[in-house]
Amino acid sequence: MEEVNLADISPVVEKYRGRHDGLISALQETQDIYGYLPETALCHLSRELNIAMSKVYSVATFYAQFYLERRGRNIVRVCRGTACHVRGGKAVLNSIENRLGIKDGQTTGDYKFTLETVACLGACAMGPVIMVGEKYYGKMTPAKIEALLDTF
């Protein structure tokens, strides 16, 4: 198990102690602190909140918003929707994969980037579009990808 400082989630434990209706919120806040849900943190929450580990784990794995593996500091989301696809989205995705040396769902070894494809980013007029963090980048091309990723 990866070592994490469990003291970081002390406020979360205190806030949700005795509240079995707060598990999802406790998991969200824990993930906000660590960037994912480390196994040691899940065990700690289970113990301290008196919730069976099986329930903690089932909730953490049921919802797509939760991540059990460490992710990159920069989440790169690539739209694979129709509008982006017909405007060259596949070439943009290939460029990102080649530049970072990872595939969809993977994280670079230095934890700088995690790559995700999504069905739609809701910015069809800007296609092909990607997001890095919370910022949209539209009208992307393989050449623009190289320059953009160098800024992070």
Grouped pLDDT means (10 residues each) for the chain, 152 residues: 86 91 96 95 96 96 94 96 96 97 96 96 96 96 94 94
In this predicted structure, what is the pLDDT of residue 19? 83
The reported pTM is 0.79
Q: Is residue 68 part of a domain?
A: no
By C-alpha distance, which of 33, 37, 46 is closest to 7?
33
Does 19 share its domain with 82? no
Question: What CATH number does the domain containing 97 carry?
Answer: 3.40.30.10
**E strand or H helix at 77:** strand 74-79
Same domain? For 127 and 80 the reply is: yes
**Last residue in a domain, options 41, 62, 83:** 62
Q: Is residue 105 included in any domain, yes or no?
A: yes
Q: Which domain holds residue 42?
A: 6-62
Domain count, the chain: 2
